[in-house]
C-alpha cells in the first residue's frame, strides 16, 4: 500500500512543476490587416447561420379615418334668418298694408297709400280710397295671432245742389263714432256698420247753423246769386243732417288690430282709409 501512495505523490508533484513553468504571456501575432483573406473565418454550419432576430422595418402606417367614428361636422356659422313680410292674397284690386310683422288686406277695393310709409318700422298707415265700397268687405290679417279688431268711423255733412253736385259743408265739424269690435276669427274680420243708413253724425246741427254753412259754401264756391238762392230754398225745412238735400257721408275709417306674433310679443297696428269727399 505504501508504494502506491508514494507513486501518486510523485505524479502530483510532477504536474505542479509543469504548470508553474508555463509562460502565460501571449505571443505577438502582429497588427490586424483589413482584407487579409487568411484572417477571414467562413462559417459553414447551418445551425449558426440562422437569423434568430427579425429585422426592424420602419413602415409608414396609412392613417385610416373611420367616418362613422368621427362626430358629425357642425357648422358654427349661424344662419341669418330674414324675417319676411307676411304674405297677403295677390289681387290687383286689393288694398294691401304690408307691415313687417302684420299684413292687412282688403279685397276688391283700391286705395292710394300716403307717402313715406316705412312698412318695417311704422305702426300705422293711411290710404285714400279710390275705388270700391268698404261695407261688407273683409279685413284679412296675417303674420300674427289676432286677439281683437276694433273699428271707428268719422262722418261729415254733405249738401246736394239743385244741379246735382254734392258739397261738403266744412262749417260742420267732423263727427267720430264709438269704437266697435268686429266679429271674426282666423284673421278674417267682416267690415260692418258702414252702410249709408247706419252712419250717424253726433256734431251740433241746427237749421240756423245749416243756413250759415250753406251761405259760406256758396261764397267760397263762387256761386251766382241765383244758385245760392236756390240752394238756400232747398234747405228751408231741413232739421237733421240726414234730411235731403243734406246727407251724412263717411269721411274716414280707422281699424286697430291687436294680437301677438310667433314669439308672443304684443303687436298693435292701425289702418286708416280716408274718403275723397
Residue with the three cell numbers 445551425: 47
Domains held by the chain: number: 1
Task: Please report the pLDDT score of residue 39 as a whole number.
Answer: 56
How many CB atoms are located within 10 Å of the residue 241 CB?
24
- What lies within 8 Å, CB to CB, of 188 at 6+ separation is 138, 139, 140, 141
Which of 202, 227, 198 has its CA nearest to residue 215? 227
Residue 247 has pLDDT above 90, yes or no: yes
Residue 99 lies in a domain: yes
Residue 57 lies in a domain: no
Measured N-to-C along each axis, helices 207-220 and 225-234 cross at an angle, to the nearest 10 degrees, of 160
Higher pLDDT, 66 or 169: 169
Contact in structure between 202 and 196 (CB atoms under 8 Å): no
Residue 147 lies in a domain: yes
Residue 55 lies in a domain: no
Residue 203 lies in a domain: yes
Residue 187 lies in a domain: yes
Which of 91, 99, 89 has its CA nearest to residue 271? 99
pLDDT class for 135, splitting at 50, 70, 90? very high
pLDDT class for 30, splitting at 50, 70, 90? low
Residue 60 lies in a domain: no
Top mean pLDDT of 30-39, 69-78, 188-197 is at 188-197
Residue 23 lies in a domain: no
Task: Please report the pLDDT score of residue 77 as a whole number.
Answer: 35
Alpha carbon distance 117, 85 (integer Å):
15
Residue with the three cell numbers 392613417: 63
Task: Please report the pLDDT score of residue 93 as a whole number.
Answer: 73
For residue 225, the enclosing domain spans: 95-274
The pTM (predicted TM-score) of the whole model is 0.66
Amino acid at each position: 500500500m505504501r508504494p502506491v501512495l508514494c507513486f501518486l505523490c510523485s505524479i502530483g508533484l510532477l504536474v505542479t512543476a509543469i504548470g508553474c513553468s508555463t509562460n502565460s504571456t501571449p505571443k505577438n501575432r502582429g497588427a490586424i490587416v483589413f482584407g487579409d483573406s487568411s484572417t477571414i473565418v467562413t462559417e459553414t454550419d447551418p445551425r449558426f447561420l440562422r437569423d434568430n432576430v427579425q429585422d426592424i422595418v420602419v413602415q409608414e402606417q396609412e392613417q385610416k379615418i373611420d367616418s362613422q367614428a368621427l362626430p358629425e361636422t357642425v357648422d358654427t356659422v349661424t344662419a341669418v334668418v330674414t324675417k319676411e313680410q307676411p304674405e297677403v292674397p295677390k289681387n290687383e284690386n286689393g288694398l294691401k298694408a304690408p307691415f313687417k310683422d302684420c299684413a292687412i288686406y282688403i279685397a276688391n277695393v283700391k286705395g292710394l297709400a300716403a307717402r313715406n310709409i316705412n312698412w318695417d318700422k311704422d305702426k300705422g298707415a293711411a290710404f285714400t280710397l279710390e275705388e270700391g265700397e268698404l261695407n261688407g268687405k273683409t279685413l284679412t290679417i296675417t303674420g300674427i295671432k289676432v286677439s281683437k279688431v276694433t273699428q271707428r268711423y268719422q262722418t261729415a255733412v254733405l249738401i246736394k245742389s239743385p244741379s246735382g253736385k254734392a258739397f261738403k259743408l266744412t262749417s260742420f265739424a267732423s263727427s267720430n263714432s264709438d269704437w266697435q269690435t268686429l266679429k271674426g276669427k282666423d284673421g278674417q274680420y267682416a267690415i260692418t256698420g258702414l252702410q249709408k243708413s247706419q252712419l250717424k253724425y253726433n256734431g251740433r246741427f241746427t237749421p240756423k247753423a245749416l243756413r250759415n254753412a250753406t251761405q259760406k259754401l256758396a261764397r267760397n264756391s263762387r256761386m251766382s246769386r241765383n244758385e245760392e238762392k236756390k240752394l238756400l230754398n232747398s234747405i228751408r225745412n231741413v232739421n237733421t243732417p240726414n234730411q235731403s238735400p243734406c246727407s251724412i257721408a263717411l269721411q274716414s275709417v280707422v281699424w286697430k288690430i291687436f294680437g301677438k306674433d310667433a314669439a308672443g310679443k304684443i303687436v298693435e297696428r292701425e289702418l286708416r282709409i280716408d274718403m275723397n269727399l
